Amino acid sequence: MDILPAVADERVVIVGDAHLGSSDLRDEEAFHDLLDAVPDIGSRLIVMGDLFDFWFEYQAVIPRRPFRTLTKLAVLVEKGVKVELVGGNHDRWGGSFWADDLKIPFHPDGTDLELAGRAARVHHGDGLAEQNLGGKLIHRLTRNRITIGVFKALHPDLGFRLADRLSGSLAETNKSPEAMEASAAAQERYARALLMSRPELKLLVLAHTHRQRCIEVEPGRFYLNAGQWMTDRHYAVVTAERIRILTWPERPGETKA
C-alpha cells in the first residue's frame, strides 16, 4: 500500500449517519462516548453528514435538541482536535454557526481534503447514485433556493415540527434491505468511476447508504464508507499506513486495509 509522507502521524476518525434525534437514545449516548474518546484514538474528526435527523440554521436560532452534541464537539475543538462536518440530506442547511461559533468547517456539498497524507474526496453521497425518482426529486427540492427561503420564513417551532413529520421523506433510500443493498452497489459503481476519472485521488469517502465498505479499487487507492452510526455504531480510522473499519466499542479482529 502507498504510505504517503505528508501528515504521517495524523489519525482521522470518520463517522456518519448518526441521525441523532430520531434514533435510539442509547445511540446518542454512545456517540457522545465516541466523541469523548476521539482525542485518544484520533487527531482529526470528519463527520460525514446526517449527524442529526434534521438541522436547519436560522440567522439567530439554533435547535435545542442537539445542544449536548454541539457542546461535545466544541470541547473537542478546544482540545485541539480538528473537526469538520459534511452536509447530508438531513442536515445540509448549515451556515456560519459551524465555522464562526464552533470553529468547525462545514462542507454542504462535499469537498477535497488531505486525510493522513492521502488526497481525498469526501461527500455524504446523496444525489450521486440514487435508485428511484423520489430520491432524485428530494435531492433537488432540498437544494432549491425557494424551498429554503420559504422554510426560513417559518417560525422555528413550526419549522422543526414540520421537519419531524417529513423526516422519512428526507431519507432518500428505500428502507428495505434489498433496496439498501442496491443503493450500496450503485454507490460503489459511482466510487469506482470517480476514482478512475481522478487518478490524483487516493481515497474517496462517502456515506448515505448505511453500508460499511472499504474497497481497494487500485493498489493504494480506496473507496471508504464508514457505515451508519445509527443502530450499528460503525466508524472508521484512517492513517497513512492503513484504513480500519470498526464498530464501537472497538472489537478484536475488525477489518483493516
CB-based contact 212:245 (threshold 8 Å)? yes
Residues 209 and 125 sit within 8 Å (Cβ to Cβ): yes
- The pairing of beta strand 243-247 with beta strand 234-238: antiparallel
pLDDT, residue 59, reads 79
> Can you give the pTM of this predicted structure?
0.87
User: Could you give the CA distance from residue 14 to residue 45 in angstroms, rounded to a whole number?
Assistant: 6
The grid coordinates of residue 149 equal: 427561503
Q: Look at residue 243 in the predicted model and tell me its pLDDT.
A: 97
Cβ burial 75-85 (10 Å sphere, 16+ → b, else e)? ebeeeebbbbb
Please give the CATH topology (third level) of the domain spanning 12-256.
Purple Acid Phosphatase; chain A, domain 2 (3.60.21)
Q: Residue 251 has what pLDDT?
A: 56
pLDDT of residue 61: 79
Interatomic CA distance for residues 14 and 234, integer angstroms: 9
What's CA 4's distance to the chain center, in Å? 24
Q: What is the pLDDT along the chain (257 residues), one digit of tens a residue?
A: 333 444 568 999 999 999 998 878 899 999 999 999 999 999 999 999 999 988 888 877 788 889 999 999 999 999 999 999 999 988 888 888 999 999 999 999 899 999 999 999 999 998 886 656 555 566 666 667 777 777 777 887 787 777 777 665 555 444 678 888 888 999 999 999 999 999 999 999 999 999 999 999 999 999 999 999 999 999 999 999 999 999 999 754 566 67
